[in-house]
Amino acid sequence: MKRKNHFMLQLLLIFSIGILVIGCSNGKNGPTYTVKLKIEPLEFARDDSTKNLWLDEIEVEFLNANLIIPEGEHEIFIGEILKSGMLIEIEVENAESMWMLMAEDEHEHNDADDHEEADEHNDADEHNDADEHNDADEHNDSHDHEDEGEHNDVDDHDDADEHNDADDHDEEAEHEVGEEHDTGEEWMDMLKEDDTHHFVVKLFVDPSLESQGIIVSQNTEIISSANVALNIKDSSGTIINDEPIILNPMQSNDGFHFAINYGFPEAGDYILSLIIDPVIFTRSNQQKDRWLSIISQDFEYHWDGEEIKGEIQIGETINPDNMQIKLVAGHPESLWMIANSELKEIVPDTNDTHLLELRLVDTKITGDLPVKLFNAKVTLILINNETSEYKEIELHAMYGGNGFHYASNVDLE
């Protein structure tokens, strides 16, 4: 009996030591984090089916996230949540290259400033008040996102009248179709030596919205961040619009595209010349050499003067970079814009005869894909649960091997 009790005591001691070792080992994994996301209203045009969706600023948080990526693993799934018609997913990977279009002097400036928040937030006592971190100039380094801001900011598109006024058109659109222009910018890798983690946020249409007639899945990846303009020529090849027509980024019940209401002066034969400026978002290594030049694409179109009913395909092609360019026409309709934080209806002009829609698709990424949401401002907030250290980072719109998402590298050491 004594030997048996002694043996049981030994087992209990071994078990207790094992628990202690495991506990100590877990302690070495580092602190857990509270991960917060702040998503400002998605700024694109909407139609009647989507005008009341994705209008509010969203804040979500994931508690006690362990951000230590196990050896041999590539990523950790932090969590997902449904909110306000949106499925939000977040994961973390090892730091990786992020290629961004920028001027060389801007890159040198960002080498020092990209992660300045890491030093600014090391004192938890200074940063217990979240209000101190809401200034994007301090924490998000607006220089990193200047290119995205120029091309994705729907403030340029808040009023349809502004799009039809030649004085308001972007500089890129003033170039002739197919004309190259030197912006003095180059694709540069934003990966820093101290970066340890790469946070990825994906925004999808809530699958439950399918019951409302909204498409929630697709078989190809949509290209979202381009500067798109249109010239319209008559049968003699003469451009009939005074200045290139800017197409609005737009989310409708059938997904994301670029659109504008337009009035053809009369029935006849036309040539629709698209100008697609290089896609602007940050790239991963897999995508950094694609869509670098201005794309010009002409489609012939005959209008018989009758009212457009349903959808008419004007033209479709796939370019050498596997970008599918598809132009369709429908009946003019209201475009709903966010202007000064309010939803505003832009009613078609009495002379408008068509709604022109351009759909850009990456044919290299295929499968049963959820419909994604674009043109959001996504801010990531990380709080160390042990030290209360606080980081706030604005995520870049990024295109990688698995398509579009929002991402940033972060130094967590």
Task: Note the pLDDT tens digit of each residue in 356-391.
Answer: 999 999 999 999 999 999 999 999 999 999 999 999
Counting DSSP H helices and E strands in the chain, the numbers are 6, 25
Sheet holding 378-384, edge to edge: 58-66, 32-39, 378-384, 390-394
Is pLDDT of 144 > 90? no
Q: What are phi and psi of 77, to 5 degrees?
A: -85, 115
Is pLDDT of 214 > 70? yes
Rounded CA-CA distance 257/254 in Å is 9
Rounded CA-CA distance 268/362 in Å is 33
Cβ count within 10 A of residue 30:
14
pLDDT in tens, 105-115: 655 555 545 44
Please report which helix (H) or strand (E) contains residue 109, including its range. helix 104-113
The predicted pLDDT at position 185 comes to 74
The predicted pLDDT at position 5 comes to 55
Structure tokens, 335:
């475009």
The predicted pLDDT at position 377 comes to 95
Cβ count within 10 A of residue 107:
18
Rounded CA-CA distance 138/155 in Å is 22
Say whether 231 sits in a helix, a strand or coil. Answer: strand
Bridge partners of residue 66, in order along the sequence: 32
Q: Region 143-154: what's the mean pLDDT?
A: 43
Q: Region 187-204: what's the mean pLDDT?
A: 94
Give, in order, the Cα–Cα distances in Å from 303 to each of 194, 266, 369.
Answer: 59, 8, 35
pLDDT band at 184 (very low <50, low <70, confident <90, very high): low
pLDDT in tens, 308-358: 999 999 999 999 999 999 999 999 999 999 877 789 999 999 999 999 999
Tell me the Cα Rg of the chain.
25
Residue partners of 344: CB distance under 8 A and separation at least 6:
158, 159, 336, 337, 338
Cα 6 to its chain centre, rounded Å, is: 64
Is pLDDT of 226 > 50? yes
The predicted pLDDT at position 187 comes to 84
Q: Which carries the bigger pLDDT value, residue 155 or residue 281?
A: 281
Q: Region 51-67: what's the mean pLDDT?
A: 94
For tokens 């709903």, name the residue.
336
The predicted pLDDT at position 108 comes to 54
Q: What is the DSSP string of 139-205?
A: HT-GGGGHHHHHHH-GGGGS-HHHHHSGGGS-GGGGSPTT-----S-EEEE---TT--EEEEEEEEE
pTM: 0.77
The predicted pLDDT at position 191 comes to 95
Is pLDDT of 81 > 50? yes
The predicted pLDDT at position 17 comes to 46
pLDDT band at 170 (very low <50, low <70, confident <90, very high): very low
Q: What is the DSSP string of 67-83?
A: --PPTT--EEEEEEEEE
Is pLDDT of 286 > 60? yes
Average pLDDT, the chain: 81
The predicted pLDDT at position 400 comes to 93
